[in-house]
Structure 1
Amino acid sequence: MKKNELNHEENTNIEIQLLLEAIFRKYGYDFRNYSTNHLTRRISYILEKTNSQNISELQHKVLYDGKTFYEVLKNLSINVTEMFRNPSFYKLIREEIVPVLKTYPFIKVWSAGCSTGEEVYSLAILLKEEGLLDRSLIYGTDLNEDVLMKAREGIYSAKKLEDYANNYKDAGGKGRLADYFTVKYNSILLKEELKKNIVFAGHNLVTDHVFGEMNLIICRNVFIYFEQELQDRTIKLFLESLCTGGFLGIGAKEDIRFSKHYHLLDTVNDRNKIYQKKFI
Protein backbone atom coordinates (compact mmCIF):
# COMPACT_ATOMS: atom_id res chain seq x y z
CA MET A 1 0.00 0.00 0.00
CA LYS A 2 1.34 3.42 -0.96
CA LYS A 3 2.17 6.04 1.67
CA ASN A 4 -0.59 8.43 0.55
CA GLU A 5 -3.14 5.59 0.76
CA LEU A 6 -2.00 4.83 4.30
CA ASN A 7 -2.32 8.50 5.21
CA HIS A 8 -5.82 8.65 3.75
CA GLU A 9 -6.93 5.57 5.72
CA GLU A 10 -5.38 6.97 8.90
CA ASN A 11 -7.08 10.33 8.40
CA THR A 12 -10.44 8.65 7.74
CA ASN A 13 -10.13 6.62 10.94
CA ILE A 14 -9.32 9.79 12.91
CA GLU A 15 -12.33 11.58 11.39
CA ILE A 16 -14.60 8.66 12.28
CA GLN A 17 -13.40 8.62 15.87
CA LEU A 18 -13.89 12.40 16.17
CA LEU A 19 -17.42 12.04 14.79
CA LEU A 20 -18.25 9.29 17.27
CA GLU A 21 -16.75 11.29 20.13
CA ALA A 22 -18.88 14.29 19.14
CA ILE A 23 -22.03 12.14 19.10
CA PHE A 24 -21.19 10.73 22.53
CA ARG A 25 -20.47 14.12 24.13
CA LYS A 26 -23.44 15.93 22.61
CA TYR A 27 -26.14 13.24 22.66
CA GLY A 28 -24.91 10.46 24.95
CA TYR A 29 -25.01 7.68 22.31
CA ASP A 30 -21.79 5.71 22.33
CA PHE A 31 -20.75 4.01 19.08
CA ARG A 32 -17.03 4.36 19.79
CA ASN A 33 -16.42 0.64 20.22
CA TYR A 34 -18.53 -0.56 17.32
CA SER A 35 -16.80 -2.69 14.70
CA THR A 36 -14.59 -0.54 12.44
CA ASN A 37 -15.78 -2.32 9.28
CA HIS A 38 -19.43 -1.77 10.21
CA LEU A 39 -18.83 1.91 10.97
CA THR A 40 -16.95 2.53 7.75
CA ARG A 41 -19.73 0.99 5.65
CA ARG A 42 -22.55 2.79 7.43
CA ILE A 43 -20.84 6.19 7.50
CA SER A 44 -20.13 5.98 3.78
CA TYR A 45 -23.88 5.47 3.23
CA ILE A 46 -24.76 8.30 5.66
CA LEU A 47 -22.49 10.74 3.79
CA GLU A 48 -24.57 10.21 0.66
CA LYS A 49 -27.86 10.30 2.59
CA THR A 50 -27.04 13.64 4.23
CA ASN A 51 -25.33 15.21 1.20
CA SER A 52 -22.12 15.62 3.17
CA GLN A 53 -18.85 16.02 1.28
CA ASN A 54 -16.75 14.41 4.00
CA ILE A 55 -16.88 13.15 7.59
CA SER A 56 -15.77 16.49 9.03
CA GLU A 57 -18.74 18.20 7.38
CA LEU A 58 -21.01 15.46 8.69
CA GLN A 59 -19.65 16.03 12.20
CA HIS A 60 -20.47 19.74 11.97
CA LYS A 61 -24.04 18.94 10.85
CA VAL A 62 -24.49 16.42 13.65
CA LEU A 63 -23.45 18.98 16.28
CA TYR A 64 -25.67 21.79 14.99
CA ASP A 65 -28.61 19.99 13.38
CA GLY A 66 -30.72 17.54 15.37
CA LYS A 67 -32.31 16.12 12.21
CA THR A 68 -28.93 15.14 10.83
CA PHE A 69 -28.03 13.49 14.13
CA TYR A 70 -31.22 11.46 14.06
CA GLU A 71 -30.46 10.35 10.50
CA VAL A 72 -27.03 9.18 11.69
CA LEU A 73 -28.57 7.41 14.68
CA LYS A 74 -31.08 5.53 12.53
CA ASN A 75 -28.39 4.35 10.16
CA LEU A 76 -25.76 3.35 12.71
CA SER A 77 -28.19 1.17 14.69
CA ILE A 78 -29.03 -2.27 13.30
CA ASN A 79 -32.61 -3.11 12.35
CA VAL A 80 -32.77 -6.54 10.73
CA THR A 81 -35.36 -8.96 12.09
CA GLU A 82 -38.30 -11.24 11.29
CA MET A 83 -40.83 -13.38 13.12
CA PHE A 84 -39.40 -16.62 14.53
CA ARG A 85 -36.05 -15.83 12.99
CA ASN A 86 -33.86 -18.96 13.03
CA PRO A 87 -36.72 -21.31 14.00
CA SER A 88 -34.46 -23.85 15.73
CA PHE A 89 -33.66 -21.18 18.34
CA TYR A 90 -37.33 -20.80 19.26
CA LYS A 91 -37.92 -24.53 19.16
CA LEU A 92 -35.14 -25.00 21.69
CA ILE A 93 -36.65 -22.33 23.94
CA ARG A 94 -40.00 -24.10 23.72
CA GLU A 95 -38.58 -27.55 24.46
CA GLU A 96 -35.77 -26.84 26.96
CA ILE A 97 -36.19 -23.36 28.44
CA VAL A 98 -39.97 -23.18 28.86
CA PRO A 99 -40.08 -26.17 31.28
CA VAL A 100 -37.73 -24.21 33.58
CA LEU A 101 -39.71 -20.97 33.16
CA LYS A 102 -42.86 -22.83 34.21
CA THR A 103 -41.36 -23.30 37.68
CA TYR A 104 -41.48 -19.53 38.33
CA PRO A 105 -44.63 -17.78 39.59
CA PHE A 106 -43.90 -14.77 37.35
CA ILE A 107 -41.60 -14.50 34.33
CA LYS A 108 -39.69 -11.50 33.01
CA VAL A 109 -38.18 -11.56 29.52
CA TRP A 110 -35.99 -8.92 27.89
CA SER A 111 -35.49 -8.67 24.14
CA ALA A 112 -32.55 -6.25 23.84
CA GLY A 113 -32.04 -4.50 20.52
CA CYS A 114 -35.56 -5.55 19.53
CA SER A 115 -35.74 -3.39 16.39
CA THR A 116 -39.28 -3.35 14.94
CA GLY A 117 -40.52 -5.98 17.37
CA GLU A 118 -41.12 -9.12 15.31
CA GLU A 119 -39.07 -11.30 17.64
CA VAL A 120 -40.81 -9.84 20.70
CA TYR A 121 -44.18 -10.89 19.30
CA SER A 122 -42.71 -14.28 18.41
CA LEU A 123 -41.85 -14.75 22.09
CA ALA A 124 -45.34 -13.63 23.10
CA ILE A 125 -46.93 -16.21 20.79
CA LEU A 126 -44.63 -18.94 22.09
CA LEU A 127 -45.37 -18.09 25.72
CA LYS A 128 -49.10 -17.92 25.04
CA GLU A 129 -49.08 -21.38 23.49
CA GLU A 130 -47.21 -22.70 26.51
CA GLY A 131 -49.69 -21.15 28.93
CA LEU A 132 -47.21 -18.61 30.29
CA LEU A 133 -48.09 -15.29 28.70
CA ASP A 134 -50.61 -14.25 31.37
CA ARG A 135 -47.92 -14.45 34.04
CA SER A 136 -45.14 -12.98 31.90
CA LEU A 137 -43.86 -9.49 31.15
CA ILE A 138 -41.81 -9.02 28.00
CA TYR A 139 -39.62 -5.95 27.61
CA GLY A 140 -38.57 -4.97 24.10
CA THR A 141 -35.87 -2.30 24.03
CA ASP A 142 -33.93 -0.44 21.39
CA LEU A 143 -32.09 2.87 21.15
CA ASN A 144 -33.98 3.86 17.98
CA GLU A 145 -37.36 5.43 18.74
CA ASP A 146 -38.56 5.07 15.13
CA VAL A 147 -38.34 1.28 15.21
CA LEU A 148 -39.93 1.22 18.67
CA MET A 149 -42.95 3.12 17.33
CA LYS A 150 -43.36 0.50 14.62
CA ALA A 151 -42.97 -2.26 17.21
CA ARG A 152 -45.73 -0.78 19.37
CA GLU A 153 -48.06 -0.68 16.37
CA GLY A 154 -47.48 -4.36 15.57
CA ILE A 155 -48.23 -3.83 11.88
CA TYR A 156 -46.05 -5.55 9.30
CA SER A 157 -45.96 -6.14 5.57
CA ALA A 158 -47.97 -9.14 4.37
CA LYS A 159 -45.27 -9.84 1.79
CA LYS A 160 -43.30 -11.84 4.38
CA LEU A 161 -46.32 -13.73 5.67
CA GLU A 162 -45.42 -17.02 4.02
CA ASP A 163 -41.88 -16.87 5.42
CA TYR A 164 -43.21 -16.03 8.88
CA ALA A 165 -45.69 -18.92 8.74
CA ASN A 166 -42.97 -21.37 7.72
CA ASN A 167 -40.70 -20.11 10.50
CA TYR A 168 -43.54 -20.52 13.01
CA LYS A 169 -44.18 -24.09 11.93
CA ASP A 170 -40.48 -25.00 12.03
CA ALA A 171 -40.23 -23.41 15.50
CA GLY A 172 -42.77 -25.90 16.85
CA GLY A 173 -45.88 -23.73 16.60
CA LYS A 174 -48.93 -25.48 17.98
CA GLY A 175 -51.62 -23.83 15.88
CA ARG A 176 -51.75 -21.43 12.96
CA LEU A 177 -49.80 -18.19 12.87
CA ALA A 178 -52.88 -16.66 11.23
CA ASP A 179 -54.70 -17.01 14.57
CA TYR A 180 -52.60 -14.17 15.97
CA PHE A 181 -53.22 -11.43 13.41
CA THR A 182 -55.73 -9.94 11.03
CA VAL A 183 -55.01 -8.99 7.44
CA LYS A 184 -55.87 -5.52 6.20
CA TYR A 185 -54.90 -4.35 2.74
CA ASN A 186 -51.26 -5.41 2.36
CA SER A 187 -50.47 -5.56 6.07
CA ILE A 188 -50.83 -7.95 8.97
CA LEU A 189 -52.04 -6.50 12.29
CA LEU A 190 -51.06 -8.46 15.37
CA LYS A 191 -53.89 -8.93 17.86
CA GLU A 192 -54.13 -6.82 20.98
CA GLU A 193 -54.07 -9.89 23.24
CA LEU A 194 -50.37 -10.29 22.42
CA LYS A 195 -49.57 -6.68 23.33
CA LYS A 196 -51.00 -6.52 26.84
CA ASN A 197 -47.96 -8.19 28.41
CA ILE A 198 -45.36 -6.34 26.32
CA VAL A 199 -43.57 -3.08 27.16
CA PHE A 200 -41.48 -1.36 24.49
CA ALA A 201 -38.97 1.15 25.83
CA GLY A 202 -35.83 3.03 24.86
CA HIS A 203 -32.61 1.53 26.18
CA ASN A 204 -29.02 1.90 25.01
CA LEU A 205 -26.90 -1.19 25.68
CA VAL A 206 -23.77 0.92 25.45
CA THR A 207 -24.57 3.64 27.98
CA ASP A 208 -27.58 2.54 30.06
CA HIS A 209 -27.58 0.42 33.20
CA VAL A 210 -29.00 -2.85 34.54
CA PHE A 211 -32.50 -3.61 33.30
CA GLY A 212 -34.44 -5.40 36.04
CA GLU A 213 -33.98 -9.04 37.07
CA MET A 214 -34.81 -11.21 34.08
CA ASN A 215 -35.48 -14.92 33.63
CA LEU A 216 -34.59 -14.77 29.94
CA ILE A 217 -32.64 -12.22 27.90
CA ILE A 218 -32.45 -12.40 24.13
CA CYS A 219 -30.02 -10.19 22.21
CA ARG A 220 -29.42 -11.59 18.76
CA ASN A 221 -27.15 -10.31 16.02
CA VAL A 222 -26.03 -7.25 17.96
CA PHE A 223 -22.68 -8.47 19.32
CA ILE A 224 -21.33 -8.92 15.80
CA TYR A 225 -21.20 -5.13 15.50
CA PHE A 226 -19.34 -4.64 18.80
CA GLU A 227 -15.62 -4.71 19.43
CA GLN A 228 -14.40 -7.03 22.21
CA GLU A 229 -14.40 -4.40 24.97
CA LEU A 230 -18.00 -3.44 24.28
CA GLN A 231 -19.03 -7.10 24.08
CA ASP A 232 -17.55 -7.65 27.54
CA ARG A 233 -19.38 -4.66 28.98
CA THR A 234 -22.68 -5.79 27.46
CA ILE A 235 -22.34 -9.38 28.70
CA LYS A 236 -21.60 -8.00 32.18
CA LEU A 237 -24.78 -5.91 31.91
CA PHE A 238 -26.79 -8.99 30.95
CA LEU A 239 -25.33 -11.08 33.77
CA GLU A 240 -26.25 -8.36 36.26
CA SER A 241 -29.74 -8.22 34.74
CA LEU A 242 -30.33 -11.99 34.93
CA CYS A 243 -31.59 -13.86 37.95
CA THR A 244 -29.43 -16.79 39.04
CA GLY A 245 -30.17 -19.62 36.62
CA GLY A 246 -31.57 -17.17 34.05
CA PHE A 247 -30.98 -17.72 30.34
CA LEU A 248 -29.20 -15.67 27.66
CA GLY A 249 -29.72 -16.18 23.93
CA ILE A 250 -27.52 -14.57 21.26
CA GLY A 251 -27.22 -14.76 17.48
CA ALA A 252 -26.20 -17.94 15.66
CA LYS A 253 -23.08 -16.31 14.20
CA GLU A 254 -21.99 -14.66 17.44
CA ASP A 255 -19.32 -15.98 19.78
CA ILE A 256 -18.87 -14.92 23.39
CA ARG A 257 -16.31 -17.58 24.36
CA PHE A 258 -13.57 -14.95 24.41
CA SER A 259 -15.39 -12.71 26.86
CA LYS A 260 -13.81 -12.35 30.28
CA HIS A 261 -17.27 -13.05 31.74
CA TYR A 262 -17.86 -16.28 29.82
CA HIS A 263 -16.88 -18.42 32.83
CA LEU A 264 -20.03 -17.22 34.59
CA LEU A 265 -22.24 -18.93 32.00
CA ASP A 266 -23.05 -22.57 31.30
CA THR A 267 -23.73 -23.57 27.69
CA VAL A 268 -27.25 -24.90 27.20
CA ASN A 269 -26.95 -25.31 23.43
CA ASP A 270 -23.88 -24.23 21.48
CA ARG A 271 -25.49 -24.44 18.03
CA ASN A 272 -28.34 -22.12 18.97
CA LYS A 273 -26.19 -20.03 21.32
CA ILE A 274 -28.23 -20.27 24.49
CA TYR A 275 -26.51 -19.98 27.88
CA GLN A 276 -27.48 -20.09 31.54
CA LYS A 277 -26.18 -17.94 34.36
CA LYS A 278 -24.34 -20.22 36.76
CA PHE A 279 -25.60 -20.96 40.25
CA ILE A 280 -22.70 -19.40 42.14
Structure 2
Amino acid sequence: MSETHELETIEIQLLLEGIFRYYGFDFRNYALASIKRRIWNTIRSERLTTVSGLQEKILHNPACLERFLVDVSVNVTTMFRDPKFYISFRKKVVPMLRTYPFIRIWHAGCSTGEEVYSMAILLQEEGLYDGCRIYATDMNELVLKTAKAGIFPLKQMQEYTQLYHQAGGKKAFSEYYTAAYENAIFGSSLKDNMVFAHHNLATDTSFNEFNVIVCRNVLIYFNSQLQERVHKLFYESLGMFGVLGLGHQESLTFTPYEKNYEAVERSDKIYRKIK
Protein backbone atom coordinates (compact mmCIF):
# COMPACT_ATOMS: atom_id res chain seq x y z
CA MET A 1 0.00 0.00 0.00
CA SER A 2 1.45 3.37 -0.99
CA GLU A 3 1.91 6.07 1.62
CA THR A 4 -0.67 8.30 -0.10
CA HIS A 5 -3.23 5.50 -0.26
CA GLU A 6 -2.61 4.59 3.38
CA LEU A 7 -3.11 8.20 4.45
CA GLU A 8 -6.34 8.45 2.48
CA THR A 9 -7.64 5.26 4.10
CA ILE A 10 -6.87 6.68 7.56
CA GLU A 11 -8.66 9.92 6.66
CA ILE A 12 -11.73 8.00 5.48
CA GLN A 13 -11.80 5.96 8.69
CA LEU A 14 -11.57 9.14 10.78
CA LEU A 15 -14.33 10.80 8.73
CA LEU A 16 -16.70 7.86 9.16
CA GLU A 17 -15.86 7.51 12.85
CA GLY A 18 -16.52 11.21 13.37
CA ILE A 19 -19.88 11.03 11.60
CA PHE A 20 -20.87 8.04 13.72
CA ARG A 21 -19.81 9.58 17.02
CA TYR A 22 -21.31 13.01 16.39
CA TYR A 23 -24.39 12.28 14.28
CA GLY A 24 -25.05 8.56 14.83
CA PHE A 25 -24.93 7.55 11.16
CA ASP A 26 -22.78 4.46 10.79
CA PHE A 27 -20.98 3.99 7.48
CA ARG A 28 -17.93 2.33 9.02
CA ASN A 29 -18.76 -1.08 7.57
CA TYR A 30 -19.68 0.03 4.08
CA ALA A 31 -17.53 -1.48 1.34
CA LEU A 32 -14.44 0.72 1.10
CA ALA A 33 -14.40 1.08 -2.69
CA SER A 34 -18.04 2.18 -2.75
CA ILE A 35 -17.88 4.61 0.17
CA LYS A 36 -14.59 6.05 -1.10
CA ARG A 37 -16.12 6.83 -4.49
CA ARG A 38 -19.09 8.56 -2.90
CA ILE A 39 -16.91 10.50 -0.47
CA TRP A 40 -14.91 11.90 -3.37
CA ASN A 41 -18.12 12.83 -5.18
CA THR A 42 -19.04 14.91 -2.13
CA ILE A 43 -15.54 16.41 -1.88
CA ARG A 44 -15.78 17.63 -5.47
CA SER A 45 -19.32 18.96 -5.11
CA GLU A 46 -18.32 20.82 -1.93
CA ARG A 47 -15.28 22.26 -3.76
CA LEU A 48 -12.84 20.73 -1.31
CA THR A 49 -9.59 18.89 -1.96
CA THR A 50 -9.12 16.40 0.88
CA VAL A 51 -11.07 13.91 2.98
CA SER A 52 -9.93 15.75 6.11
CA GLY A 53 -11.36 18.95 4.70
CA LEU A 54 -14.69 17.21 4.23
CA GLN A 55 -14.55 15.87 7.79
CA GLU A 56 -14.09 19.37 9.19
CA LYS A 57 -16.96 20.76 7.14
CA ILE A 58 -19.38 17.93 7.94
CA LEU A 59 -18.71 18.04 11.69
CA HIS A 60 -19.26 21.80 11.82
CA ASN A 61 -22.02 22.12 9.22
CA PRO A 62 -25.09 19.84 9.49
CA ALA A 63 -26.27 20.99 6.05
CA CYS A 64 -23.10 19.50 4.58
CA LEU A 65 -23.93 16.23 6.32
CA GLU A 66 -27.36 16.21 4.66
CA ARG A 67 -25.74 16.60 1.25
CA PHE A 68 -23.27 13.84 2.11
CA LEU A 69 -26.12 11.52 3.11
CA VAL A 70 -27.68 12.03 -0.30
CA ASP A 71 -24.41 11.17 -2.06
CA VAL A 72 -23.82 8.11 0.11
CA SER A 73 -27.27 6.60 0.44
CA VAL A 74 -29.08 7.21 -2.84
CA ASN A 75 -28.85 4.06 -4.94
CA VAL A 76 -29.80 3.68 -8.57
CA THR A 77 -33.42 2.55 -8.74
CA THR A 78 -36.23 2.32 -11.26
CA MET A 79 -39.78 1.06 -11.29
CA PHE A 80 -39.98 -2.67 -12.05
CA ARG A 81 -36.21 -2.96 -12.07
CA ASP A 82 -35.20 -6.46 -13.19
CA PRO A 83 -38.64 -7.36 -14.60
CA LYS A 84 -38.05 -11.09 -14.21
CA PHE A 85 -38.00 -10.63 -10.42
CA TYR A 86 -41.59 -9.37 -10.57
CA ILE A 87 -42.69 -12.15 -12.90
CA SER A 88 -41.31 -14.72 -10.46
CA PHE A 89 -42.90 -12.86 -7.55
CA ARG A 90 -46.30 -12.99 -9.27
CA LYS A 91 -46.02 -16.67 -10.14
CA LYS A 92 -44.40 -18.08 -7.02
CA VAL A 93 -44.84 -15.67 -4.11
CA VAL A 94 -48.34 -14.29 -4.72
CA PRO A 95 -49.95 -17.76 -4.30
CA MET A 96 -48.28 -18.01 -0.88
CA LEU A 97 -49.49 -14.55 0.09
CA ARG A 98 -53.08 -15.48 -0.75
CA THR A 99 -53.04 -17.83 2.24
CA TYR A 100 -52.51 -14.99 4.74
CA PRO A 101 -55.37 -12.96 6.25
CA PHE A 102 -53.12 -9.89 6.29
CA ILE A 103 -49.75 -9.29 4.61
CA ARG A 104 -46.88 -7.23 6.00
CA ILE A 105 -44.08 -6.31 3.60
CA TRP A 106 -40.88 -4.48 4.42
CA HIS A 107 -39.01 -2.64 1.66
CA ALA A 108 -35.67 -1.98 3.36
CA GLY A 109 -33.43 0.69 1.88
CA CYS A 110 -36.28 1.90 -0.31
CA SER A 111 -34.44 4.99 -1.61
CA THR A 112 -36.81 7.24 -3.61
CA GLY A 113 -39.53 4.59 -3.64
CA GLU A 114 -39.84 3.42 -7.22
CA GLU A 115 -39.71 -0.25 -6.24
CA VAL A 116 -42.22 0.31 -3.44
CA TYR A 117 -44.77 1.65 -5.92
CA SER A 118 -43.93 -1.23 -8.26
CA MET A 119 -44.81 -3.72 -5.53
CA ALA A 120 -48.01 -1.86 -4.68
CA ILE A 121 -49.11 -1.98 -8.33
CA LEU A 122 -48.36 -5.70 -8.55
CA LEU A 123 -50.31 -6.44 -5.36
CA GLN A 124 -53.22 -4.28 -6.50
CA GLU A 125 -53.41 -6.17 -9.79
CA GLU A 126 -53.37 -9.46 -7.91
CA GLY A 127 -56.20 -8.33 -5.62
CA LEU A 128 -54.04 -8.41 -2.49
CA TYR A 129 -53.28 -4.78 -1.81
CA ASP A 130 -56.32 -4.03 0.36
CA GLY A 131 -55.16 -6.67 2.83
CA CYS A 132 -51.57 -5.51 2.88
CA ARG A 133 -49.31 -3.00 4.58
CA ILE A 134 -46.00 -2.01 2.99
CA TYR A 135 -43.39 -0.56 5.32
CA ALA A 136 -40.82 1.38 3.29
CA THR A 137 -37.71 2.49 5.13
CA ASP A 138 -34.47 4.29 4.44
CA MET A 139 -31.82 6.08 6.48
CA ASN A 140 -32.10 9.21 4.33
CA GLU A 141 -34.95 11.57 5.20
CA LEU A 142 -34.67 13.40 1.87
CA VAL A 143 -35.24 10.31 -0.26
CA LEU A 144 -38.08 9.23 2.04
CA LYS A 145 -39.76 12.56 1.37
CA THR A 146 -39.56 11.91 -2.38
CA ALA A 147 -40.83 8.36 -1.94
CA LYS A 148 -43.78 9.45 0.18
CA ALA A 149 -44.80 12.10 -2.35
CA GLY A 150 -44.93 9.56 -5.18
CA ILE A 151 -43.96 12.16 -7.76
CA PHE A 152 -41.43 11.15 -10.39
CA PRO A 153 -40.12 12.75 -13.61
CA LEU A 154 -42.58 12.30 -16.45
CA LYS A 155 -39.70 11.68 -18.87
CA GLN A 156 -39.00 8.37 -17.11
CA MET A 157 -42.49 6.98 -17.70
CA GLN A 158 -41.74 5.64 -21.17
CA GLU A 159 -38.96 3.45 -19.78
CA TYR A 160 -41.07 2.47 -16.76
CA THR A 161 -43.98 1.53 -19.03
CA GLN A 162 -41.76 -0.89 -20.92
CA LEU A 163 -40.41 -2.39 -17.70
CA TYR A 164 -43.94 -2.66 -16.28
CA HIS A 165 -45.13 -4.72 -19.24
CA GLN A 166 -41.96 -6.84 -19.22
CA ALA A 167 -42.72 -7.52 -15.55
CA GLY A 168 -46.17 -8.89 -16.38
CA GLY A 169 -48.22 -5.72 -15.93
CA LYS A 170 -51.89 -6.21 -16.73
CA LYS A 171 -53.13 -2.69 -17.50
CA ALA A 172 -52.08 0.49 -19.24
CA PHE A 173 -49.33 1.83 -17.00
CA SER A 174 -50.63 5.38 -17.46
CA GLU A 175 -53.71 4.44 -15.41
CA TYR A 176 -51.57 4.58 -12.28
CA TYR A 177 -50.40 8.18 -12.53
CA THR A 178 -51.52 11.64 -13.57
CA ALA A 179 -49.27 13.76 -15.76
CA ALA A 180 -48.77 17.29 -14.44
CA TYR A 181 -46.29 19.49 -16.26
CA GLU A 182 -43.01 17.53 -16.13
CA ASN A 183 -44.08 15.16 -13.37
CA ALA A 184 -45.97 11.90 -13.02
CA ILE A 185 -48.04 11.87 -9.82
CA PHE A 186 -48.98 8.40 -8.65
CA GLY A 187 -52.49 7.92 -7.33
CA SER A 188 -53.39 8.09 -3.65
CA SER A 189 -54.89 4.59 -3.82
CA LEU A 190 -51.35 3.23 -4.14
CA LYS A 191 -50.21 5.18 -1.08
CA ASP A 192 -53.09 4.16 1.20
CA ASN A 193 -51.33 1.09 2.57
CA MET A 194 -47.77 2.43 2.62
CA VAL A 195 -45.89 3.52 5.73
CA PHE A 196 -42.64 5.43 5.17
CA ALA A 197 -40.21 5.60 8.07
CA HIS A 198 -36.59 6.25 8.93
CA HIS A 199 -34.58 3.09 9.59
CA ASN A 200 -30.83 2.53 9.44
CA LEU A 201 -29.83 -1.02 8.57
CA ALA A 202 -26.39 -0.46 10.09
CA THR A 203 -27.63 0.45 13.56
CA ASP A 204 -31.38 -0.11 14.02
CA THR A 205 -33.22 -3.25 15.09
CA SER A 206 -36.31 -5.14 13.98
CA PHE A 207 -39.63 -3.33 14.37
CA ASN A 208 -42.21 -5.93 13.27
CA GLU A 209 -42.69 -9.43 11.91
CA PHE A 210 -43.04 -9.59 8.14
CA ASN A 211 -44.31 -11.99 5.51
CA VAL A 212 -42.03 -10.47 2.87
CA ILE A 213 -38.80 -8.47 3.08
CA VAL A 214 -37.43 -6.88 -0.08
CA CYS A 215 -33.95 -5.39 0.01
CA ARG A 216 -32.52 -5.28 -3.48
CA ASN A 217 -29.15 -3.84 -4.50
CA VAL A 218 -28.36 -2.46 -1.06
CA LEU A 219 -26.21 -5.15 0.53
CA ILE A 220 -23.66 -4.86 -2.28
CA TYR A 221 -22.55 -1.56 -0.71
CA PHE A 222 -21.80 -3.20 2.67
CA ASN A 223 -18.75 -5.15 3.77
CA SER A 224 -19.13 -8.74 4.96
CA GLN A 225 -19.51 -7.76 8.62
CA LEU A 226 -22.39 -5.39 7.94
CA GLN A 227 -23.98 -7.82 5.48
CA GLU A 228 -24.01 -10.46 8.22
CA ARG A 229 -25.64 -8.00 10.62
CA VAL A 230 -28.36 -7.19 8.10
CA HIS A 231 -29.00 -10.85 7.28
CA LYS A 232 -29.45 -11.48 11.01
CA LEU A 233 -31.90 -8.58 11.18
CA PHE A 234 -33.89 -9.89 8.22
CA TYR A 235 -33.94 -13.44 9.57
CA GLU A 236 -35.25 -12.24 12.92
CA SER A 237 -37.83 -10.01 11.21
CA LEU A 238 -39.30 -12.67 8.91
CA GLY A 239 -42.10 -14.90 10.07
CA MET A 240 -41.80 -18.62 9.39
CA PHE A 241 -42.10 -19.28 5.64
CA GLY A 242 -41.61 -15.56 5.04
CA VAL A 243 -40.06 -14.51 1.73
CA LEU A 244 -36.81 -12.59 1.25
CA GLY A 245 -36.07 -10.82 -2.03
CA LEU A 246 -32.49 -9.73 -2.74
CA GLY A 247 -30.76 -7.97 -5.63
CA HIS A 248 -29.31 -9.65 -8.68
CA GLN A 249 -25.73 -9.49 -7.36
CA GLU A 250 -26.66 -10.50 -3.81
CA SER A 251 -27.05 -13.91 -2.24
CA LEU A 252 -27.53 -15.90 0.95
CA THR A 253 -24.64 -18.16 -0.04
CA PHE A 254 -21.84 -18.25 2.54
CA THR A 255 -23.94 -16.41 5.13
CA PRO A 256 -24.69 -18.01 8.53
CA TYR A 257 -28.37 -18.12 7.54
CA GLU A 258 -28.02 -19.93 4.22
CA LYS A 259 -29.41 -23.22 5.55
CA ASN A 260 -32.41 -21.48 7.12
CA TYR A 261 -33.86 -20.66 3.71
CA GLU A 262 -34.88 -22.50 0.59
CA ALA A 263 -34.80 -20.98 -2.88
CA VAL A 264 -38.18 -20.00 -4.28
CA GLU A 265 -36.50 -18.78 -7.46
CA ARG A 266 -32.73 -18.84 -7.16
CA SER A 267 -32.03 -16.96 -10.39
CA ASP A 268 -34.12 -14.02 -9.17
CA LYS A 269 -32.79 -14.20 -5.60
CA ILE A 270 -36.13 -15.00 -3.97
CA TYR A 271 -35.89 -17.18 -0.85
CA ARG A 272 -38.24 -18.56 1.80
CA LYS A 273 -37.44 -18.97 5.48
CA ILE A 274 -37.91 -22.60 6.48
CA LYS A 275 -36.39 -22.76 9.97
TM-score, with structure 2 as normaliser = 0.97
Deviation of 1:160 (Å):
1.3
Q: State the distance in 2 between where 1:120 and 1:202 align.
A: 15
**Which residue of the other structure, out of 158, 169, 175, is the alignment partner of 1:173?**
169
Q: Which structure 1 segments of 5+ residues have no match?
A: none
Does residue 261 of structure 2 align to residue 233 of structure 1? Answer: no
Which SS does the other structure have where 1:271 is aligned? helix
Cα distance in 1 between the residues matched to 2:190 and 2:32: 38
One-letter amino acid of the structure 1 residue matched with residue 37 of structure 2 = R
Structure 1 stretches of 4+ with a deviation exceeding 4 A read: none
Q: Output one character per residue of 1:175-212: Cα deviation in whole Å (capped at 9) or x when no partner.
A: 11111111111211101111100011111000000031
Give the CA deviation at 1:256.
2.8
**8 Å contact from structure 1 (residues 180, 191) kept in 2:** yes
* Alignment RMSD: 1.1
Partner residue in 1 for 2:54: 58
Distance 1:228 1:236 in 2: 12
Other-structure match for 1:259: 255
Q: Does the Cα contact within 8 Å between 1:228 and 1:259 map onto a contact in 2?
A: no
Q: Give the match for residue 35 of structure 1.
A: 31
Write the distance in 2 (CA, Å) between the matches of 1:180 and 1:42: 34
Question: Are 1:45 and 2:56 matched, yes or no?
Answer: no
Matching of residues 121-200 of structure 1 within 5 Å:
121-200=117-196
Question: For residue 64 of structure 2, what is the aligned residue in structure 1?
Answer: 68
Counting only pairs closer than 5 Å after superposition, residues 196-207 of structure 1 correspond to structure 2 as 196-207=192-203
1:16 is displaced (CA, Å) by 0.3
CA deviation vs aligned residue, 1:211-237 (integer Å, no higher than 9, x gap) = 310100100101111111110100100
In structure 2, list runs of 5 or more residues that go unmatched: none
Structure 2 contact 74–143 (Cα < 8 Å) conserved: no
Q: Which amino acid aligns with 2:58?
A: V
Q: What is the alpha-carbon distance in structure 2 between the residues aligned to residue 229 and residue 79 of structure 1?
A: 20
| Post-superposition offset of 1:50 | 1.5
User: Larger deviation: 228-237 or 166-175?
Assistant: 166-175
Q: Match of 1:97, as an amino acid? A: V
Q: One-letter code of the match for 1:248? A: L
Where does residue 88 of structure 2 map in the other structure? Answer: 92
**Range moving further from structure 2, 42-51 or 209-218:** 42-51
Q: Which amino acid aligns with 1:185?
A: Y
Number of aligned residues: 275
Which position in structure 2 is the counterpart of 1:217? 213
Give the 5 Å matches for 1:8-27.
Answer: 8-27=4-23
